[in-house]
Structure 1
């Protein structure tokens, strides 16, 4: 991944999305904000125990790093719901309507789509031809429901995207080194057991790659960060390791 720094705020970019015309994106870390332990320091999640004024300030920091994109957050519920924000729709961010789901898709310029993470994958998609961006919250529950495939279908059906044009980035998340599922026989469908390694550890990075490919995205257009959040709590929040912790911002938007 490409390391960036905006006035002391570090973040990463996917090499296959960096430099693409019309889009900004940022994989933010836990550092560069105003929070204190256990939320130190760039926590953007309300409702985890951090002070609301600090969270609001941190969200402002993220927006400024993204060129003052207007950030859109959703209430993530570990499902497969896709929220489409299309120019002229009643669901546009300006309507003030509360949004619930686990993926966002838009063609609206000046809008930054935010997924909050602390071990789950954020999967960013961008179609440079149609100028459509998407951001996906793909935890293990979303993965088994194939929220990635649902999001690509929304891009094709609502915006006329061709999956072969789409670039995809899989963000830092729980890796196969730490992705242990003790009760996998009850929780994870059998068709996902092919991603199980030793000691009940699952490789959901590989699962996401396969789902992206199955949706028609070319292998050469897929980049995975390969960074495990539980291994790197110096950089990232990890619910698995810390329990009481913050949420990072994963942002993509058109400008």
Structure 2
């Protein structure tokens, strides 16, 4: 089966390789069918390894670099390929200026963000769930690229991949309060509160605004309109699996970005 890969117009550049993966095209079975890239939820290790290999080969990359994601704001600088099958470390964003290394952010409802600096030739991959968004992992990654590579925010291009849409993502009062603390204007991010104090949350829109606050131009940011919860045949969703009585049993897709090797 052919891989179904999503690409962003803002990252269409000859020096760049990027995709957001989807479910079709892998070997995993059952709730993990079929291109599951996540090892931590019970899928067979050999299936995940084969799926990762298929993606790496399809993109023509030397290696895929993963992080142990913890819903924080740590940014990991990657200077070379991982040793064996090891993660680059514990964190929720990866940055590099080394060609051929595919930085991976894994998601199953959370928001994947890819960053590209065509001037300094550097890239970043960000996993931003609601906790990471409250901590501004997107802004932290922009700052980390500036510190590490001299990247200027106004030069950066970004793509925000598929994530759960607001209509399918109700959160409780504690999450609502956390976003109200971070954003002066929550219209478009939070719906009006319901009688229990909860609301529907658009994490992808919150991330888009954070990228703008970090200095990116609005027209340099692309955002997918695909909802992970709604697109069951195409994408994994943690919340959908929970609602179907299979809490914790789901696969994961990814955002992947790399600098192309010269020649």
Deviates more, 1:209-218 or 1:175-184: 175-184
- Corresponding residue SS for 1:10: coil
Deviates more, 1:200-209 or 1:133-142: 200-209
Give distance in 2, aligned partners of 1:150 and 1:122: 15
Residue number in structure 2 paired with 1:214: 213
1:1-255 mapped onto 2 (5 Å cutoff): 8-18=2-12, 20-86=13-79, 92-94=80-82, 98=87, 99-184=89-174, 188-191=178-181, 192=183, 194=186, 195-198=189-192, 199=194, 200-242=199-241, 243=247, 244-255=249-260
Residue number in structure 2 paired with 1:4: none
Root-mean-square deviation (CA), in Å? 1.7
Give distance in 2, aligned partners of 1:247 and 1:93: 22
Q: How far does residue 95 in structure 1 lie from its aligned partner after superposition?
A: 5.5
Give distance in 1, aligned partners of 2:209 and 2:174: 20
Aligned length: 243
CA contact (8 A) 1:69 1:253 kept: no
TM-score using structure 1 length = 0.90
Give distance in 2, aligned partners of 1:95 and 1:62: 19
User: 1:246–1:185: structure 2 CA closer, same or farther, 3 Å change rule?
Assistant: closer
Give distance in 2, aligned partners of 1:151 and 1:34: 33
- Corresponding residue SS for 2:127: strand
CA contact (8 A) 1:103 1:135 kept: yes
Q: How far does residue 187 in structure 1 lie from its aligned partner after superposition?
A: 6.3
Give distance in 2, aligned partners of 1:223 and 1:167: 8
For 1:210-245, what per-residue CA distance to the aligned partner results, in whole angstroms no more than 9, with x for missing partners?
Answer: 100010000010111021100111110000011311
- Corresponding residue SS for 2:10: coil
User: 1:32–1:185: structure 2 CA closer, same or farther, 3 Å change rule?
Assistant: closer
Give distance in 2, aligned partners of 1:28 and 1:125: 16
Give distance in 1, aligned partners of 2:62 and 2:167: 35
Give distance in 2, aligned partners of 1:93 and 1:61: 18
For 1:14-67, what per-residue CA distance to the aligned partner results, in whole angstroms no more than 9, with x for missing partners?
Answer: 01112x121101111011100111000000111211111000000001101111
Deviates more, 1:226-235 or 1:183-192: 183-192
Residue number in structure 1 paired with 2:244: none
CA contact (8 A) 1:122 1:170 kept: yes
Question: Any stretches of 5+ residues in structure 1 without a counterpart?
Answer: 1-6, 87-91
